[in-house]
Structure 1
Amino acid sequence: MNILILGYGKMGKIISAIAEERGHTIIGKITEENISDLDALDGTTIDVAIEFSQPEAAISNITWALEQGIPVVSGTTGWLDKKPDIERLALSKGGTFFYASNFSIGVNIFFKINRYLAKLMDEQPSYKVSMEEVHHTEKKDAPSGTAITLAEDIINKVSRAKRWNLDTDPIDNEHNILISSKRINEVPGTHTVTYQSDIDDIEIKHTAHNRKGFALGAVLVAEWIKDRKGLLTMNDFLSF
């Protein structure tokens, strides 16, 4: 496949390397510095765009690709208030848009475990749920998109959990999921969900050892969506 990389930071570089190892061709590597290079690209020669940029660049990057009729795989977080607009654009163009807050296969299995545990804990009101997420210091958004996905899945299953907020916020009551968001140098990503009572704690945890799992997942998805249309997620990819 011919792949366009939108966002060539640490993730973009690993994605590019893995894609080339799997026999794909990188048509372009777009950053803030060379964004004008998009004007010279022929969208008909690009099979898929993989977008891992920054929140402030994601909307314009994805919009450009969808306008060109290019399927988009996006993993950028911190811009999701505009996601409905992007989804409408993708549908109006008859295009393909695949979004995931995390492309790691392990994390998506963790998501499924989190939903199942939350369903069980809905019947156990004595347990208070909280979360902790730790990422590298270069990650700008807090909490992470992965943490938000975990929290929203809990809210959908646990009736007493009404909302989430950072533990640095002033609001703290029994209906909130408090999220501790930490930034430590060179930590790829660790997410912990804890149900705590006076008697005991129940905890599930996912620890990434490096970024390769995220990058490989994005490339595998790019291979998978090539001939598909519509709005797609990891649940579709993994048949969850």
Structure 2
Amino acid sequence: MKIALLGYGRMGKTIEKLAVERGHSVVKKIDQGDTYDFADADVAIDFSVPDAAVDNISMALKSGVPVVSGTTGWLDRYPEMVALCKENNGAFIYASNFSVGVNIFFELNKKLAQMMKALDSYNVSMTEVHHIHKLDAPSGTAITLAEGIIEESSKTDWILGNEESNKITIKAVREAEVPGTHTITYQSDVDEIMIEHKAHSRNGFALGAIIAAEWLKDKKGVHTMKDVLNLS
């Protein structure tokens, strides 16, 4: 598989290393300010920055190249990219986190929320910890986890840092070189229940994106990691 990397920062370099180890080749590295050129690329993997993501995804879709995007912080324009994918009969996967373990954690989070729904004595909150270079807060993964809880509970939204009775409080911590830790806590007066996913390196995120690209390469339409991992 021939890959065009959209964004060549820390994640881009990790994806390149793991992709080569899996027998793939990186034929293009397109960073901010570079000219778009998707010649010879079978698939594009986008781990850029929020301001560049929409242009990156758009140009790849218009060029007929399937896109896997893990850039967060731009989702207010996600419906536009879905429409553009359909308009161009393209293929597109966005995930706030491509780690196989995290995507299992997403499903576990929803299941626990279902079980806790009727137990009013417990209040749910979340803490996410990432490296000091991360640009967005809370993380896209934390937002996805919060949305999963909201689907299955009386909570109506999430809020960063503060506390409101009908919202999920998310605490975002930026610390050293932490790859990513997400903790969900249900607390009552008598006890607490916690589930946690802790990444040991960026390799899990990068490998999941490559697995998604391998799966998407010859497909059409808008998909998710639930499709890739058959978690539906």
Q: Which residue of 2 aligns with 1:58?
A: 53
Which amino acid in structure 2 is aligned with residue 20 of structure 1? V
* Structure 1 pair 42–209 and aligned structure 2 pair: CA distance change class (3 A): closer
In structure 2, the partner of 1:31 is 31
Deviation at 1:133, TM superposition (A): 0.2
* 1:3 corresponding residue in structure 2: 3
Question: What TM-score, normalized to structure 2?
Answer: 0.98
Distance 1:66 1:88 in 2: 11
For 1:173 and 1:62, locate their aligned partners in 2 and report how far apart those are by CA, in whole Å.
Answer: 36
User: Given the superposition, is the C-alpha separation of residues 42 and 197 from structure 1 closer, same or farther in structure 2, using an over 3 Å criterion?
Assistant: closer
Contact 2:38–2:65 (8 Å) recurs in 1: no
Matching residue within 109, 112, 115 for 1:117: 112
Q: State the 1:112 CA deviation.
A: 0.8
Tell me the matched-pair count.
Answer: 231
TM-score (norm: length of structure 1): 0.94
* Runs ≥4 residues deviating over 4 A: none
Equivalents in 2 of 1:173, 1:106: separation in Å? Answer: 30
Q: Measure the CA separation in 2 of the matches of 1:56 and 1:42.
A: 20
Task: Give the root-mean-square deviation of aligned CA atoms.
Answer: 0.9
Amino acid at match of 2:83: R
Q: Name the residue aligned to 1:16.
A: 16
Say which of 85, 91, 94 aligns to 1:96. 91
Corresponding residue for residue 47 of structure 1: 42
Q: Deviations over 1:218-240 (max 9, x none)?
A: 11111111111100101101111
Distance change in 2, residues 1:42/1:62 (3 Å): closer
Alpha-carbon shift at residue 22 of structure 1 (Å): 1.1
What is the CA distance between 1:173 and its match in structure 2? 2.2
| Displacement after TM superposition at 1:139 (Å) | 0.6
Q: Which residue of 1 aligns with 2:142?
A: 147
Unmatched runs of 5 consecutive residues or more in structure 2 = none
Whole-angstrom distance in 2 between the partners of 1:6 and 1:42: 10
Q: Deviations over 1:57-116 (max 9, x none)?
A: 000000000000000000000000000001000011100011111010010111111000
